[in-house]
Amino acid sequence: MPPAPSDPDAALMLRVKRGDRAAFEALVEKYRQPVMNVLARSLPDAAEAEDLAQAVFVQVFKSAGRYEARAKFSTWLFTIARNLCLNELRRRARHPAEPLEPAGDGESDLPPRQFEDKSHFSPPDALLHGELEAKVREAIAALPENQRTALLLFQEEVSYEEISDVLDCSLSATKSLIHRARETLKARLKPYLRTGAWPEN
Amino acid sequence: MNNEQFQQLIEQSQRHPLDAAEERQLRAFLAAHPERQTAWDDEMALNRLLARLPDAPVPSNFTAQVLAAVEREEAATARTPQPTWTNWLRLTSWRPATLVATLALAGLIPFFAERHRVHQRTQLARSLAAVSPVAQVPTVEMLQDFEAIRRLGQRARADEDLLTLFQLPQ
C-alpha cells in the first residue's frame, strides 16, 4: 500500500490514536452513511447491519493504537467493515436463527433508534418505488460476496485502487469483478431496465 | 472512436455524467454503430437504478451510540483486573511447561532411536558369534585336494559283504 500522507482522514485517525475523541467523532460522522450503505446491502437484516456498523467503528477505535497511515483511512475502514461483514455472514450460515446480540440484555441505557423519515413519494409512486427498490436490493444481495463488495464500494465512490486494496486483489481483477456484477444485475433487472419503471424523484 | 473508447465512456458514465466533448464522441460512435445503442441504454438504465437506490437509514443518534459503545468497552477493560506478576505467571506458566515438554520429547526421540539401533547391532553380533564356530571354512590344503573335498560330505559306506558274513548262521 502506498503512503497516504495527504489523507485528511489519516491525520484525524492519528489524532484518534493519541486519544482525541473529537477526531473519532468526526470520522464516525463522515463515514457512518457509506459504511451503513455497504453493510445494509450486504446483510438481509437492517438492524443487524446497524449493529455491525457500530461494531466497525468500535473496532476502529480499539485498533487506533496499531493504526499506521500507510494507506488511506477509508481503505482501512472498509477492510474492517468487510471482515466483520464476512464474519457475520459466516456466523449466520452456521447459526441462521441467532441474532448478532441478544435483544434487551438490560445493560444498555441507550435511547431507542431514531430514524428520520426520508420518503417523499406519493402513495402509488412509493409502492412502485418500494417494489423496484426491493428487486434491486435482492439482485445485489444475490451477487457473490466479492462482486457485491466491489460494486457497493464503487457505488460509494471508492476508487478502483482502494477497492483492490480492500479486496486484496489486482486492479484488473477489481474492474472485472465490477463488470461481472453489473452484467449480472443487468440480466436480472432486464424487465425493469427497459420499462424505466423507477419514478423521477 | 473505437470499441475500447466506447467501453471507457461506459466506465466514465458510471462515475459521473459525461461532459460535452464525451457526449459528442458518444453520439458519433452510436451513429456509426447503431447496434451498440441498446448496450448503452442498458448501462445508463442500470446507472440510474443504482444511483437512485436510497441510502440505508442511519439513526440520528448513531454517533452517540458508537461513542457510548466505546465508553462501555473502555469501562469493561478498566474493570478487568490487571494481571499481577503471580497471575501472569499462572496465565503463562503452561507455555514454558509445554515448551520444555516438547523439547524433552524432541530430545528423547533420537536417544531412544540410538538405543534401539545399538540393541539391534548387539543382537546381530551375538547371532553371528553363535553361528561362526559351526560354519568353519575348509583350509587351503584341503581345498587343493579335490578328492578329499568331494569326500567331506560323504559317509563311509558300510562293508555289506562283511556284514553278511557276520550274519551267517553260527
Q: Say what the pLDDT of residue A120 is.
A: 53
Q: Specify the higher pLDDT residue, A35 or B154.
A: A35
Q: Say what the pLDDT of residue B105 is.
A: 86
Alpha helices in chain B (DSSP H): 3-15, 20-32, 37-51, 62-79, 85-131, 140-144, 146-152, 160-166
Tell me if chain B has a CB within 8 Å of the CB of A67.
Answer: no
Quote the crossing angle between the two packed helices A171-188 and A160-167, to the nearest 10°. Answer: 100
Q: Say what the pLDDT of residue B4 is.
A: 87
| Residue range(s) defining the domain that contains residue B115 | 92-134
Q: Specify the higher pLDDT residue, B93 or A160.
A: A160
pLDDT < 70 stretches in chain A = 1-5, 97-129, 195-201
Task: With CA atoms as reference, report the closest residue to B47 among B20, B18, B6.
Answer: B18
The answer on A72 and A129 residing in a single domain is no
Tell me if chain B has a CB within 8 Å of the CB of A22.
Answer: no
Q: Say what the pLDDT of residue B152 is.
A: 64
What SS3 state is found at A130?
Answer: helix
Q: Which of A40, A61, A115 sits opposite B59 (nearest CB)?
A: A115
pLDDT, one tens digit per residue, over B46-88 is 999 999 899 999 999 999 999 999 999 888 887 776 666 666 5
The answer on A91 and A22 residing in a single domain is yes
Examine the predicted complex and report whether its ipTM is higher than 0.90: no
B166 pLDDT tier (thresholds 50, 70, 90): confident
Q: How many separate domains does chain A show?
A: 2
Tell me whether residues A110 and B65 touch, CB distance under 8 A: yes
Q: Say what the pLDDT of residue A105 is.
A: 45
Exposure on the CB side of residue B161, measured as CA atoms within 13 A = 0
Tell me whether residues A136 and B53 touch, CB distance under 8 A: yes
The C-alpha cell 497471575 sits at B87
Q: Is residue A43 in some structural domain?
A: yes
Q: Is residue A113 in some structural domain?
A: no
Q: Specify the higher pLDDT residue, A107 or B39.
A: B39
List CB contacts of A121: < 8 A, sequence separation 6 or more. A129, A199, A201
Q: Is residue A53 in some structural domain?
A: yes
Chain A contacts of B48, Cβ < 8 Å? 198
- What integer best gives the mean pLDDT of chain B? 82
Task: With CA atoms as reference, report the closest residue to A66 among A51, A57, A76, A56.
Answer: A76
Task: With CA atoms as reference, report the closest residue to A135 among B51, B39, B49, B47.
Answer: B49
The answer on A84 and A26 residing in a single domain is yes
**Interface mutation vs chain B, best among A31, A33, A184, most B CBs within 10 Å:** A33
pLDDT, one tens digit per residue, over A166-186 is 999 999 999 999 999 999 999
Q: Is residue B102 in some structural domain?
A: yes
